[in-house]
Amino acid sequence: MDVSPDHPRYKSLVIREKMSELSDQGIVARTGLIAHGRGEAFDYLLGEKTTPAAQKAEAAIAAFLLEAERPVITMNGNASALCAAELLALAAEVGAQVEVNLFHWSRERVEKLVSYLESFTDLPILGREQDAVLEGIASDRARCCQTGIYAADVVLIPLEDGDRAEALRAAGKKVLAIDLNPLSRTAQAANATAVDEITRAVPQIRQAVKELQNDQPRRKKLLADFDNQANLAESVQYIIENLTAQQ
């Protein structure tokens, strides 16, 4: 499908086409297309822009990653399709491991996704050999790597489900999320949630990493001051005000 760059929904249409193609290849699950559409709906409510609340959360996420001893960034099909190169660059910048973790799990799909990510980076991609189980998850998403998610102290879970966010918190890990729905279980369970579209959020997090890299006192203050529930409430209020302004 050829999309004119002049089309008002150009970026959205290009992303949809890419998601569809990667679904045909088995990288994105069919239900992942539904999840993406749901996210787009919330982005409309936000005015398709990064809000002040999201910027604060993205700075907090950068600080959490820089303060971590064993950070891990997890990748599912949607996150990989939408933002693989940026997320892998972020992993390199904060010294995080990268691990594939899937709801719709099969060895074939894991292999496809690991290979897809390896085409972007020289970083090792975990996930082919999952030798541990995260308690509290009924699906195959409980599978994880002993040296990756299982041992992590901080986990960034872009575009994930609430069960795993809650299980990671229960396991004592700091959970960082990117989720356009401020009311989702993932957003609510995380220690820091950027209510933002992933292709906007990750570059913002990378910029914050650059600014905070050599400033631990500022990182400590950011984390001490950050309140995820208050930040989510600010995001909800932003949506309300944005909708009211349209009337």
What domain range includes position 219?
A: 52-245
Question: What's the CATH code of the domain at 106?
Answer: 3.40.50.12640
The per-residue pLDDT for range 4-13, each reduced to its tens digit, is 566 555 566 5
Residue 39 lies in a domain: no
Q: Name the pTM for this structure.
A: 0.90
Is 117 part of a structural domain of the chain?
yes
Domain-located, residue 168: yes
Whether 33 is covered by a domain: the verdict is no
Position 32 in a domain: no
Measured in residues, the chain has a length of 247
Asked whether residue 25 carries a pLDDT value surpassing 70, the answer given is: yes
pLDDT over 60 (residue 208): yes
**Structure confidence at residue 29 (pLDDT):** 66
Span 85-120, pLDDT tens digits: 999 999 999 999 999 988 777 888 899 899 999 999
Query: Is the Cβ–Cβ distance between 51 and 247 less than 8 Å?
Result: no
Number of domains in the chain: 1
In a domain, 15, yes or no: no
The reply to whether 71 falls in a domain is yes
Specify if 21 maps to a domain: no
The 3-state secondary structure of the chain, one letter per residue:
CCCCCCCCCHHHHHHHHHHHHHHHCCCCCHHHHHHHHHHHHHHHHCCCCCCHHHHHHHHHHHHHHHHCCCEEEEECHHHHHHHHHHHHHHHHHHCCEEEECCCCCCHHHHHHHHHHHHCCCCCCEECCCCCEECCCCCCHHHEECCCCHHHCCEEEEECCCHHHHHHHHHCCCEEEEECCCCCCHHHHHCCEEECCCHHHHHHHHHHHHHHHCCCHHHHHHHHHHCCHHHHHHHHHHHHHHHHHHCC
Summarised one tens digit per residue, pLDDT across range 73-94 is 999 888 888 889 999 999 999 9
pLDDT tens track for 156-190: 999 777 888 999 999 999 999 999 999 999 999 99
